[in-house]
Amino acid sequence: MSYDIYLKERVSGETIMLPNKHMMTGGTYRADYDEKTGTFSPSAINEAWLNITYNYSRYYYEAAEGDKRFYGEKEWPKEEGVHNLGIRGLYGKTGLESLSMLKDLISRIESNYKKNGDWITTKRSKIVYKDDFGKELEFVEILGKKIKYTEEKIDVEVYEGPSSDYWASTAANAIKPLYQLLVFAELRPDGIWYGD
C-alpha cells in the first residue's frame, strides 16, 4: 500500500506540470529501460506527483496527533467523526497552507527520533512468519500461496536514521518525502493537494 500524492491545478484539476524536470522518486516512479545493460533507472518527470510507501504512516500519524490541521472525516474506511488523517491531512489544502504543515511534521519527527542531533534506536514489535522448519519467510513468499506458516511476534531494535532500503520504516526515511512535497508546495503554492 502507498500514498499517491499530487499537487493539482485549482480550476482544471490536472496534475501540475513543473517548469523543470525532477528525479524525485518514491515507492513507485517512472523508469527508463536500458536494453544494453538490462537495467531500469528513474525517468526525469515534470509532474508534481510523488508515491510514498505506507510503511512511513506511523510517523505521519504520530507527528500529526493533536494538530487540528491534520484532522477530518475519513473517506476509507468510512467512520463517523473527525480523525487524525496523518499525511492525508494535506489533501484539499493549498501548497501555501501545507508549507507550515510539512515543516511541522518534519520538526516533530526529528524531535521524537533525534537526540543531541543524532538519530536514536527504538524498540518495536514485529511479526515474523516461519515455515514448519522454523525458517523465516518474507511476507511476499506467503502472499496468495498455500504455504503453511506460523506467526511470531518479536521485539526488534530499529535505527531511526537514513536507510539505503527505501521500504525500511525509519524516521529519516519518512522525512525525505516530506521535503520533496515541500519543494512542490514552494514551487506552486497555488496548487491543491490530492491523493491516494
CB 133 within 8 A of CB 95: no
Look up the pTM and report it: 0.85
Answer positive or negative: Cα dihedral of 172, 177, 183, 186. negative
Q: For residue 72, what is its C-alpha cell?
A: 477530518
Reported as a single tens digit per residue, the pLDDT across 39-53 is 988 888 899 999 999
Contacts of residue 108, Cβ cutoff 8 Å, sequence gap at least 6:
62, 63
Answer positive or negative: Cα dihedral of 101, 164, 155, 115. negative
Reported as a single tens digit per residue, the pLDDT across 88-130 is 999 999 999 999 999 999 999 999 999 999 999 999 998 888 8
